[in-house]
Amino acid sequence: MSKDVTDKVDIEETSQDNSKRKRTSAVWNHFKRIKVEGIQFAECNYCKARLKAPPDYGTTHLNKHYDKVCKKWPRKIDIRQSFLKADQKVSGIQELGTQIFSQEETRRELASMVILHDYPLSIVDHIGFRRYSTSLQPRFNMISRNTLKNDILKIYKEQRMKYYNLLEKLKHCHN
């Protein structure tokens, strides 16, 4: 179809008055209602596919789309599920093991990377970095600059205490 219909797309407001039926199906968390040239569609929030969705159509076809067809829907994953992990050691030998995703551990690794490479705190605001991080681990909730700064300060304080305690031990050994 060579006709451009992007100008004729109306997004319906989500507020409902008493004369209209409410959308109670959980499938509507994955779609938004739009009208194209007077025809009602449901647009997938993930892949932007448009499926016909007049009020009398039901939601079975929408459920099937996001559950089986949509390739961009982040599937429900048990956060305790293990993933294969390949560790590259300094010696060049690679070890294979399992890993369970941890938001806290990922935040700590991000802070360590910023410290190690002297990256700016604003790296967490860069759209390219956000896309890259999401492609590696979709379950990671990106943090703000302030949170990154606090994580870096926490690492600094931990390292300071570690070296302080080490110096105290050395001081006692030489006395």
Q: Give per-residue pLDDT as tens, 127-159.
A: 999 999 988 888 888 999 999 999 999 999 999
Residue 66 has a pLDDT of 76
Length of the chain: 175
Q: Give per-residue pLDDT as tens, 65-100.
A: 877 788 777 665 555 566 667 766 666 677 777 778
| Beta-carbon count within 10 A of 31 CB | 23
End-to-end CA distance of the chain: 87
In this structure, the answer to whether residues 65 and 118 fall within a common structural domain is no
Domain membership flag for residue 121:
yes
Residue 74 has a pLDDT of 66
Q: Give per-residue pLDDT as tens, 36-72.
A: 998 999 998 888 899 999 888 888 898 888 777 887 7
In this structure, the answer to whether residues 166 and 107 fall within a common structural domain is yes
Which residues, listed in sequence order, are joined to residue 100 by a DSSP beta bridge? 82
Question: Based on the number of CB atoms within 10 Å of its own CB, is 18 exposed (0-12), middle (13-18) or buried (19 or more)?
Answer: exposed
Q: Which domain holds residue 161?
A: 102-174
Question: Based on the number of CB atoms within 10 Å of its own CB, is 130 exposed (0-12), middle (13-18) or buried (19 or more)?
Answer: middle
In this structure, the answer to whether residues 64 and 124 fall within a common structural domain is no
